Structure 1
Amino acid sequence: MEKRRFGRTGMEITPVGFGSWAIGGSGWAAAWGPQDDEEAIGAIRRALELGMNWIDTAAVYGLGHSEELVARALKGVPEPERPYVFTKCSLVWDGNGQVHNVLKKDSVKRECEDSLRRLQVDVIDLYQIHWPIPDEDIEEGWEALAELKEEGKVRHIGVSNFDVGQMERAGKIAPVETLQPPYNLIDRGVEEEILPYCRQNDIGVIVYSPMKSGLLTGKMTPERVRGLPADDWRRNHPEFNEPKLSQNLKLVAKLREIGERHGRSPGEVAIAWTLRHPAVTAAIVGGRRPEQVDGIIGAAEFRLSEEEIREIEAAIPA
């Protein structure tokens, strides 16, 4: 699989990496419903077999469980074959599992120690602030990341869900090396200002939810939405319910039509569409079972023609 330079980090990463939000399992506010741990580990190992060289996780996914599963999946993998591991801070939980946004320096540093322990590593390849909340504490949180880098506990530092103004504030303290924003055919808010800023400033971009959390995979139907587990956050999301669901599934029909011309799935077409943007280094793709990874890996090498891009954009709901 080809590799791309990840902004100013200098890391060379594959165009798709494994996203481990969904494998965190049940029991927290942004859960995707129950998850079989062995299938999750199998999905990570399948992603590595197929050539992905990075994994994105976060402390909050499954309230620590996702990071623990990443460690289990990588146990015994020889050093030359080990993928980069990226994780995030700023979302902490209490004894009742309630999640809170915290960017105080002592909290961020404590989170880093906890992530190092759960991931069973001595250093984290990329450490990111998950959300710029509270806004007034951005500078304090970013100072903590800069210090962790100086201390050698993390190799690179980045942000997620930040706008241009917030990145500029952080950049006065230490360079912002990477950004992780949401980006897909339905969520295009980063195109106007944020992606051009990143390209201009050599900030590597890994986009999340390129398939809109499964909506653009070609496997989502009204029946499947109704059958989602009670604690799957998608059940109540507007894009997964009418009137938007029908509009979005018409877009998926176009992705399927284009994919069939090339032997690609609708999800692979959706991912390839995000990768066409010159500011995007790579896309985070989740998989809860090994066969799901098989269904999206082709996006790394698939290239849409200009005509196909126009076809897709004509089908996007207003």
Structure 2
Amino acid sequence: MDSIKLDHADITVPRIGLGTWAIGGWMWGGTDDAQAVDTIVSALERGIGLIDTAPVYGFGHSEEIVGKALAQFGRRDEIILATKLGLAWDDQGRVRRDSSPARIRQEIEDSLRRLRTDYIDIYQVHWPDAAVPYEETAQTLDDLRRAGKIRAIGVSNYRPEQMEAFRAAAPLATDQPPYNLFEREIEADVQPYCTERGIGLIAYGALCRGLLSGRMRADRAFQGDDLRQHDPKFQQPRFGQYLNAVERLDAYAREHYGKRVIHLALRWLIDQPGVATALWGARHPEQLDPVEDVLGWSLDADALKAIDAILDACITDPVGPEFMAPPENSAAPA
């Protein structure tokens, strides 16, 4: 697995990591714990050495599954473990933002227990909480870093001005935004901001919730609490536009590289400026099989232009990932 060293932390990350939101089950129609553990162990054995999780993924369940897998795999020093903080939930599963110092101090202990470890490599604020000064959140995290409970500090879903305030109080190693061929909003501001300052991008949603896997069909039905039932990309007529783009991207990948759209989408992402790691969400070990065909090649300028032309021709009504944002903290100033 190719890797890259972060500028603001003594950590080297693989270019592809495993995202475990779906493994937690919540908003993805449930999960199979044993299969999830097998998937994580398989990822580690393939050199996908960064595992990204969060407490809110299944309300602790994803972290517990990751903890089981880490215990089974062993060799903790070979793993980059990333988790998050700053989202609380009630008994009805309603989520709210909370990045207060007291909440952070509780969350770090809960996460360490669920993950069966005594330190976290990259600890990330899941969503910005405007009710708490960003400098205060950053200072609390820097205290944890100095105490040895975390190795590096990251944020997720932050705007540049929020990161700038955060960086006034603590070193910021990573930012985790949504980024993929279909969701490129960060190119306007977040990506250049991070690239210029050496903040590594850990891109989530690399396959756009399965759209770029090449396995999605127009008659696909989503069960239970699967968030794609409400994702505007999966509603017609947009769904057809995105599927048409996938079909044409797949044809381009086969013709020019002997690859498939899943390889093209991941290769495109890790070739983008500032991207340190692309998070690959998988729930079955066999879903990781394509990873080897993502490595060892790159896209040239002509290919990037051709890909953009396909997207422009197929997707006439694009939409971003905004629907996933939890509500703002009600205590935040207007």
The answer as to 2:2 corresponding to 1:2 is yes
The answer as to 2:209 corresponding to 1:248 is no
Report Cα offsets for 1:50-76 as digits up to 9, x if no partner. 111110001110100001111111114
The answer as to 2:300 corresponding to 1:305 is yes
How many Å separate the matches in 2 of 1:169 and 1:81? Answer: 32
Q: Residue 142 of structure 1 contacts residue 170 of structure 1 at CA under 8 Å; is this kept in 2?
A: yes
Matched letter for residue 307 of structure 1:
D
- Deviation, structure 1 residue 289: 0.2
Given the two structures, how large is their TM-score scaled by the length of structure 2? Answer: 0.89
The answer as to 2:187 corresponding to 1:198 is no
Q: State the match for 2:55 in structure 1.
A: 59
- Deviation, structure 1 residue 96: 2.9
Report Cα offsets for 1:182-212 as digits up to 9, x if no partner. 1112211111221111111111111000111
The answer as to 2:219 corresponding to 1:223 is yes
Aligned residue for 2:275, secondary structure, equals coil
Moved more, 113-122 or 144-153: 144-153
Report Cα offsets for 1:246-282 as digits up to 9, x if no partner. 1111210122113324343312211111111121111
Q: State the match for 1:234 in structure 2.
A: 228
Q: Aligned in 2, Cα 1:291/1:111: closer, same or farther, shift over 3 Å?
A: same
Structure 2 runs not aligned, ≥5 long? 317-334
Q: State the match for 1:46 in structure 2.
A: 42
Q: State the match for 1:292 in structure 2.
A: 287
Structure 1 runs not aligned, ≥5 long? none
Q: Residue 207 of structure 1 contacts residue 280 of structure 1 at CA under 8 Å; is this kept in 2?
A: yes
Aligned residue for 1:162, secondary structure, equals coil
- Deviation, structure 1 residue 139: 2.7
- Deviation, structure 1 residue 98: 2.1
Q: Percent identity, aligned pairs only? A: 38
- Deviation, structure 1 residue 296: 3.9
Q: State the match for 2:327 in structure 1.
A: none
The answer as to 2:213 corresponding to 1:211 is no
Matched letter for residue 229 of structure 1:
Q
Q: Residue 216 of structure 1 contacts residue 270 of structure 1 at CA under 8 Å; is this kept in 2?
A: yes
How many Å separate the matches in 2 of 1:98 and 1:297? Answer: 39
Q: Residue 54 of structure 1 contacts residue 84 of structure 1 at CA under 8 Å; is this kept in 2?
A: yes
Aligned residue for 1:110, secondary structure, equals helix
Moved more, 266-275 or 14-23: 266-275
Q: Residue 268 of structure 1 contacts residue 297 of structure 1 at CA under 8 Å; is this kept in 2?
A: no
Q: Residue 89 of structure 1 contacts residue 127 of structure 1 at CA under 8 Å; is this kept in 2?
A: yes
How many Å separate the matches in 2 of 1:9 and 1:206? Answer: 14
Moved more, 254-263 or 108-117: 254-263
- Deviation, structure 1 residue 80: 6.5
Number of aligned positions between the proteins: 312
Q: Residue 8 of structure 2 contacts residue 171 of structure 2 at CA under 8 Å; is this kept in 1?
A: no
Report Cα offsets for 1:204-244 as digits up to 9, x if no partner. 111000111111111111211xx111310011111111111
Q: Residue 7 of structure 1 contacts residue 178 of structure 1 at CA under 8 Å; is this kept in 2?
A: no
How many Å separate the matches in 2 of 1:213 and 1:67? Answer: 20
Report Cα offsets for 1:5-49 as digits up to 9, x if no partner. 1232131111100100000014xxxx1112111111111111112
How many Å separate the matches in 1 of 2:302 and 2:121? Answer: 38
The answer as to 2:110 corresponding to 1:114 is yes
- Deviation, structure 1 residue 297: 4.5
Aligned residue for 1:213, secondary structure, equals coil
RMSD: 1.6
Given the two structures, how large is their TM-score scaled by the length of structure 1? Answer: 0.93
The answer as to 2:98 corresponding to 1:105 is no
How many Å separate the matches in 2 of 1:215 and 1:231? Answer: 18
Aligned residue for 1:41, secondary structure, equals helix
- Deviation, structure 1 residue 91: 0.8
How many Å separate the matches in 2 of 1:300 and 1:203? Answer: 23
Q: Aligned in 2, Cα 1:284/1:164: closer, same or farther, shift over 3 Å?
A: same
How many Å separate the matches in 2 of 1:37 and 1:306? Answer: 43
Q: State the match for 1:268 in structure 2.
A: 263
Aligned residue for 1:308, secondary structure, equals helix
